[in-house]
Structure 1
Amino acid sequence: MTNQPKPLNQITQEAIAILFKEIGIANTVRFLNQFSPGYGNYTEEREEIFKDLSLDEILKRIN
């Protein structure tokens, strides 16, 4: 018996459906997001966001 390889988009759709059924939509999305490279430049954004704050001020905002 020979199995023909499925197209990658079909495999992806089937895998996502299985994940959704087994672990739910929220956890499926969380799982898939770990493979996304994201966007933007966090280093530049961080420097812009915190440029006028001292470390003590940043720590106060965390708590």
Structure 2
Amino acid sequence: MKQAEIRKTGYKALIDSLGVVGMLRFLQQLEIGNGDYTQERYQSSEPTLEELRQFTMERSSDSTQKE
């Protein structure tokens, strides 16, 4: 079987089993991502304790000013 025939047979099987919408949802889940999530996750910087403290202080003063 050629690639095009395999693809066509696969789409037909998915449609027969899941319907058109189900097939599309399934295929969306198979979309290939890019990059290295694990590496990128650890490269992003976490806020420091000082930044968190400052953020909570600002939020606290904002909420008391609105009252």
Q: TM-score, normalised by structure 2?
A: 0.42
Q: TM-score, normalised by structure 1?
A: 0.44
Larger radius of gyration: 2
